[in-house]
Amino acid sequence: MVNLRTRIGDLILKNPIMPASGTFSEELADVIDIGQLGAHVTKTITEEKREGNPTPRICEVNGSILNSIGIPSKGVEHFIKHTIPFYNQYDVPLVTSISAHTSDDFARLCNKVTVPGVAAIEVNISCPNIDDDGKAFAMRPSATKTVVQKVRSSSDLPLWVKLSPNTGETVEVALVAEDAGADALVVSNTMLAMSIDITSRKPRLGNLMGGLSGPSLKPIALRMAYQCAKSVRIPVIGCGGISTVYDVIEYLIAGVKAVQIGTATFVHPSTMINILSDLEDYLREQNIRNLNDIIGTVQDANTIDAVVFMETAP
């Protein structure tokens, strides 16, 4: 028997597999047994109703997806009245993903979703910060500190802070988020990217640019997850480009405690369930009885020497 349980702060998950926000909804329950998952992560909600960005919102790029959905939302009241009761049918922790334009808006929304039935709140700070000229909160340590401190003071639920790959200060942002009160980090959201139709010479997305997800993002997100896991004491949840069990294993070896799967679900709705089964098979074949025995086992002792060699080689 393989023990797949993992701990994310005070939450104990029966396994490390969960959806990435924006790629999971109630309709998926008609296709797979979502009760098998380690956690349920809702589509990101906002306090107010939102229509989302202009179409087209999605295009395919080199086997990956470029999206500019714009976080359409039915608002927090609809979420509390309809979404939470649906997921509470399952014996699976419900993680509510939230987004807002300012740190004060984040704090207010965080307080509103601190209700029975919600096990944790995922704070999507990869969205534009109106108070900082539209730059994403997670781009800068200072903005990250402000928003995380405010949401921390507004709720006693576990806070998972979702970071952005669009920063050059990955570790600094991670450390500040931890210090400001995050209970876990989700690494990472999509990367800002663009695609142009060479026939019409127009951007392929209605909002010009969007977020890149899927296999193309994995090496970047994996690097970030490794850096964060090495730098912080709180758990890191890996997210980005996961489509097979081998991707999951890479993230676990890099040091994450759980993973979120997104784009692959659009390709094959049963991906999460298949990967969960494959993960158990892999660990059994490797005679690994406990998931924790593989987490953070990357052999990186010679990393510094290798980098020095490459920099000094003729």
pLDDT of residue 136: 86
Of 71, 157, 149, the residue nearest 113 (C-alpha): 157
d(CA 106, CA 101): 7
Catalytic annotation, pick one of 110, 127, 228, 239: 127
What lies within 8 Å, CB to CB, of 18 at 6+ separation is 37, 38, 39, 40, 41, 95, 237, 258, 259, 260, 261, 272
Which amino acid does the sequence have at 280?
Answer: E
Give the mean pLDDT of 174-199: 97
Of 119, 138, 118, 120, the residue nearest 128 (C-alpha): 138
Question: How many Cβ atoms from other residues are within 10 Å of residue 57's Cβ?
Answer: 17
Extract the tokens encoding 119. Answer: 């096990």
d(CA 173, CA 155): 21
**pTM of the predicted structure, to 2 decimals:** 0.93
- Find out if CATH 3.90.100.10 is the number for domain 6-52+70-199+215-308: no
Give the mean pLDDT of 152-179: 97
Task: Give the pLDDT confidence of 114-137 residue by residue, as tens digits.
Answer: 999 999 999 999 875 556 554 789
User: Which long-range contacts link 298-302 to residues 24+ away (Cβ below 8 Å)?
Assistant: 298/226, 298/253, 298/254, 298/255
Which amino acid does the sequence have at 31?
Answer: V
Q: Where are the domains of the chain?
A: 6-52+70-199+215-308
d(CA 236, CA 229): 6
Angle at 295 between CA 300 and CA 280, to 5 degrees: 130
Give the mean pLDDT of 180-189: 97
Res 263 pLDDT > 50: yes
Q: To which residue do tokens 């692959």 refer?
A: 264
pLDDT of residue 228: 98
What lies within 8 Å, CB to CB, of 238 at 6+ separation is 187, 221, 222, 225, 251, 252, 254, 256, 258, 259, 260
| Residue 313 pLDDT level (bands cut at 50, 70, 90) | very low
Give the mean pLDDT of 202-230: 96
Catalytic-residue membership of 228 = no
Res 304 pLDDT > 60: no
